[in-house]
Amino acid sequence: MEERWNIGIDVGGTFTDLCVCASTGAVSTFKVLSTPSDPSIGVVNGLQAIATANRLPLRDLAGRIATIVHGTTVTTNATLTRRGARTALLTTPGVRDALEMRRGIREAQYDNHFHNVEPLVPRYLRLPARGRLDGQGAEITPLSIDDVRAACATFRREEVQAVAVCFMNAFANPAHEQAAAAVVRAELPGVFLSVSSDVLPTIRFYNRVSTTALDAYTGPVLDSYIAKLTSRLTETGFSGVLLIMQSSGGVAAPELTRKRPAMTLLSGPAAGPRAGLAFSEPLGMKSCLVVDMGGTSFDASLVKDGDVELKPEGEIARLRIALPMLDIVTIGAGGGSIGRIDAGGLLRMGPQSAGAVPGPACYGRGGELPTCTDANVVLGYLDPVSFAGGALPLQVDRARETIEAHVARPLGIDVDAAAVGMYRVINANMAHGVREITVKRGLDAREFPMVVAGGAAGLHACALADELELRTVLAPAFASVLCATGMLMTDLQHDFVRSLVGPLATIDPLRIRTLIANMIAEGEEQLAREGLAPADMRHEIALDLRYLKQYHEVTVRVPRAAIDQGALADVAIPFHAEHDRLYGYNLAEQGTGLELINVRVRSIGRVDRPVLPRLARDGPDARHALTGERRAWVPDTARFASVPVYDGHKLRAGNTLAGPALVERTDTTLLVSAAFSARVDDLGTCVLERTNGGAR
C-alpha cells in the first residue's frame, strides 16, 4: 500500500514549520524560511524540502498527502500592520462613531499622552441607513433601502474592498441587516461583505461592530491568500483535504474560514496548547504552561486539568474581537527581536524584529541590527557550523560587530557583557508575558510544569524557569515545530453563540433548550459537510452569567443534562467557583441572583490523531550522545565555561544528564543550566527538574 502523509504547517514571521506524520507511523519535522511577501511560497518550499528528504519529485509527494492542516498569521499580520482591505461600515444613524468611542472607557486614564486607537474604518466611510429595531427585535422604523443604495454609491466611488453591516439590536432580529446585505451584494458585486448577525449575533453593540469590522477588514486578505495557497497546492498535485486552524483551537474547512476570516486572527499559535498537553499528559501532568518562542514573537498559554484555557473575547492591536479564542498572550520577543538603547539609556529587546528578511546579522542576509539570536551566538549557545543542520552557517563576527556598534559601545561595556544583558532582558520580558496568563488569571505559575516550544525557546527555558521560580520544564523532541505538530492533534470545531438576557431564575428553560438545539443542528450540519459521521460529533454547552447588576460576565461550561432537566440552579455552583478564581470573591452566601447573557455551543468533530513515535529504552548513561564541549555562558555562575554538548537525536529514553549542558538538534538547541538535570522520556522529551533544592 502506498505511503500517505498528514502534514501540519505553521507559518511564522521568520520560519515556516512543518510536521509530517506518515501512515507507517514515522514522524519528521522541517523548517524553512518564511516568505512574508507571499507566505504560500514558503509553504510550497516546505513541501519541496519534504520531497527532497524523501527522494521524491514534488508532484509525487503532493499526490500522497492525505491532509494538510495549516495555521496562518495572514489576518494577524494584516491587522497588526494595518494592511487590510479598504473597509466601509453601514450602520444605524447616530452610532457610526462607536468604533471610535468604543466602550467609553479610557484605557490609560492617568496617561496625559494617551492616544486612542485609530478605527479600521475612517469616519467618512461609516455611513448610516435609517431604520430601527427595539431590544426585542420589533420594528420601530422600517429600513430605508434608498439609504443603503446611496451608501453603496459612495462606497463604489471610494473603491472600497469590504463592507461591514452592523445595525442596532440586529442580534434580536436580523431582518434589517439581511435586507441591507442583499442590496450591497447586488450593488457591489465582488466586494467582501461581513454582516454582524452572521458573524456575532449577540448583545453589546461595540463588541459586535468591532468584530464585524475586523472580519471585513481581513476578509479580502485571507480570501486572496487561501486562493493563492490552494492554487499553488493544486499545481503541485495536491488533491487531499486542506484544513485551516482557528483562533479557538479547532480546525475548519477553507470555505468556512474565507467567509469568517476573523476566526483566524490567532490561528498561528492556537495549536500549541493542545500539543503541550500531548507531551505533559504521558508524564501524569494534566496541567501545564506552554511557551512558544519563535523568530518574531513569544506566546504563552495555559492548559488546566486537561482543558485548554479559552476566553469569549479579547483584543488584537487594541481592537476588540468578541469571538471565542484560546487564552494566549503574545509579545514581541523572539530570536529576531532587535536590541536597542532607548532615549533613557536603557537596553530594550523588541518588539521590533528582523524577521525572515533580512533576519539576524549572523545569518549574513543583510541584517545590520543586533538580535536575540546574535546574542545567543556570542554567548556560545549556537554552533555556527551546525546551525539548522548546517544549511545556514552563522557569522559570529557579524553578530559581534552589530552588538558592539548598537549595544556595547553606547553602554560602555564589552560585547560579551552586552550579549548577557540582551539575554537577561528578553528573559525578563517573557516572564512578564507568562505572568499575564497566570497571575492575572488568579493562578500561581509555580504550580505548573512549563512546556517549551519554538526554535529559540530551549536556550531560554531554564532562565525563564528561574525568573518564574518553576521546578519542572519539558522540552519535547518536537519543540521547534510544536504548533505544527499540534495541528495534527486538533479536532474540527465550530462555535456558536446567541444572546438571551434575563434573570436565570425566571427564564423559561425551554427557551434555552430551543436555542441550544438550533445551534447544535447548525453545528452538525457544518460538520457533516466536512465529512464527519454523527458518531464522531459531540457538543459542549456554556452559559455567560453574571451577578445581577454586574457588568462583566463569566463563561461557565454546563452539562446538557442540567439544561434538559431544567436544573438551572445547579449552574450557580461552578459559577461561584469560577467568579472566585477570577475576581477573588463570590456572593454565594449572600444569595445574589444570577443573570444570563449568552448561550454558547461548541460543536466538535473528532479526527484521527497521529501516534507519536517512542524511543528505545536505555540506561541513564548518555555518553554515547556526547559530541564534545563548547565555551558558553553559564547563567547560574555568571561566567563562561566549557560546557558539554550532546546530540539530541542520539539520546534514548532513560538517558540522564546534568547541567550545565547543551543538547543540539538540527532545528533547536536546549540549554540545561547548572540548576537543572535532564532525563529523556519515551517520547524523546527532555524532562528538566531543578536539582538545587527548589526554586531560587
Selected residue with higher pLDDT from 117 and 642: 642
Selected residue with higher pLDDT from 111 and 599: 599
Q: Show the 3-state SS of 94-130.
A: CCCCHHHHCCCCCCCCCCCCCCCCCCCCCHHHEEECC
Angle, helix 145-157 to helix 175-187, in steps of 10 degrees: 40
b/e map 102-136, b = 16+ CB within 10 Å: beeeeeeeeeeeeeeeebbbeeebbbbbebbbeee
296 sits in which H/E element: none
| Poorest-pLDDT segment among 165-174, 282-291, 433-442 | 433-442
For domain 5-78+224-264, which architecture applies?
Answer: 2-Layer Sandwich (3.30)
pLDDT tens-digit map of 312-335 = 888 887 889 999 888 888 888 889
Angle, helix 461-468 to helix 415-437, in steps of 10 degrees: 60
Q: How confident is the model at residue 695 (pLDDT cuts 50, 70, 90)?
A: very low
Beta bridge partners of 474: 451, 687
Cβ atoms 199, 211 nearer than 8 A: yes
**CA atoms of 290 and 277, how far apart (whole Å):** 9
Residues 289-314, mean pLDDT to the nearest whole number: 87
> What is the number of other CB atoms lying within 10 angstroms of the CB of residue 94?
10
- C-alpha distances out from residue 434 to 196, 298, 299, 642, Å: 34, 10, 9, 31
Kindly write down the DSSP assignment for every residue of 24-61, as one continuous string. Answer: TS-EEEEEEE--TT-HHHHHHHHHHHHHHHTT--HHHH
Residue 304 has pLDDT above 70, yes or no: yes
Q: How confident is the model at residue 694 (pLDDT cuts 50, 70, 90)?
A: very low
Residues 459-468, mean pLDDT to the nearest whole number: 96
Cβ atoms 6, 21 nearer than 8 A: yes
The three grid cell numbers given for residue 437, joined into one nine-digit string: 496568563
| Poorest-pLDDT segment among 72-81, 226-235, 290-299, 620-629 | 72-81
Residue 73 has pLDDT above 90, yes or no: no
**CA atoms of 67 and 455, how far apart (whole Å):** 24
Kindly write down the DSSP assignment for every residue of 331-389, as one continuous string. Answer: ES-STTEEEEE-TTS-EEEEEEE-TTTT--GGGTSS--S-BHHHHHHHTT-S-TTTGGG
Residue 583 has pLDDT above 50, yes or no: yes
Do the two domains 5-78+224-264 and 271-333+427-487 of this chain adopt the same fold? Answer: yes
Residue 23: predicted pLDDT: 82
Virtual CA dihedral for 569, 570, 576, 579, nearest 10 degrees?
-100
pTM for this predicted structure: 0.84
The three grid cell numbers given for residue 156, joined into one nine-digit string: 463604489
b/e map 185-219, b = 16+ CB within 10 Å: eebbeebbbbbbbbbbbbbbbbbbbbbbbbbbbbb
Angle, helix 415-437 to helix 396-403, in steps of 10 degrees: 80
Q: How confident is the model at residue 397 (pLDDT cuts 50, 70, 90)?
A: very high
Locate the domains of the chain by residue range. Answer: 5-78+224-264, 82-219, 271-333+427-487, 337-423, 492-605, 623-690
- C-alpha distances out from residue 377 to 86, 301, 396, 473, 641, Å: 43, 28, 6, 23, 15
Cβ atoms 372, 348 nearer than 8 A: no
Candidates 24, 53, 445, 68; CA nearest to 233 is 68
Residue 248: predicted pLDDT: 87
**CA atoms of 283 and 681, how far apart (whole Å):** 8
Amino acid at 237: G
Q: Does domain 492-605 have CATH number 3.30.1490?
A: yes
Q: How confident is the model at residue 531 (pLDDT cuts 50, 70, 90)?
A: confident
Residues 11-28, mean pLDDT to the nearest whole number: 85
Fold of 271-333+427-487: Nucleotidyltransferase; domain 5 (3.30.420)
**CA atoms of 651 and 32, how far apart (whole Å):** 25
The size of the chain, in residues, is 696
**CA atoms of 223 and 183, how far apart (whole Å):** 22
